[in-house]
Amino acid sequence: MLIKIDLNKDEPIYKQLMDQIRYGIASGYLKPGEELPSVRQLASDLGINMHTVAKAYNLLKAENILIVNSRKGVKISTDVFKPIQNSIGNNSRSIIEDLVSKCILDGIPKDKFITECEKIYDKINNRRNDND
């Protein structure tokens, strides 16, 4: 999978990395059980610092998304997809609230907003199902 880091963005590199790996898994570019490049390898590929990659890997390990083994390398957890949940977390809810507030001020009507959410969900989800 192609990972793209924007060094000019305000968002810290390790977070960009985490987001892209999550996105890669959700969209099926990366599969449960699959190996990821070593810290050194990925750092060198992306032209960033080793510690930055390690930080992203370790935080994703704490989220039970990656399995980090100093000898065997890094791979994606086989149970990375959690069982079906009924409700989203408070954190996500609060992100949506901030987002919706902005959209309302920006003149985005409900149907446009919802359609966009659906489109993005489908884009990510379908791509994974296709890749299966």
Residue 95 touches a copy of itself, criterion: CB under 8 A: yes
Does 103 bind a copy of itself (CB under 8 A)? Our answer is: yes
Q: Does 20 bind DNA (CB under 7 A)?
A: no
Task: Give CA–CA dist 62/76, Å, rounded.
Answer: 12
Name the β-bridge partners of 13. Answer: none
Contacts of residue 80, Cβ cutoff 8 Å, sequence gap at least 6: 25, 32, 64, 65
CB of 7 to DNA, least distance (A): 7
Joined tokens for residue 14: 């390790």
Contact call for residue 3 and a copy of itself (CB under 8 A): no
Binding string, residues 30-69; x marks residues near a copy of itself by CB under 8 A: --------------------------------x--x-x-x
Asked if 65 is part of the footprint of DNA (rule: CB under 7 A), the reply reads: no
Nearer to a copy of itself, 40 or 112 (CB): 112
| CA-closest candidate to residue 56, choices 107, 104, 11, 99 | 11
Strand 35-36's sheet: what is its strand order?
A: 35-36, 73-76, 66-69
**Binding region for DNA (CB under 7 A):** 12-15, 38-41, 48-52, 54-55, 57-58, 68-74
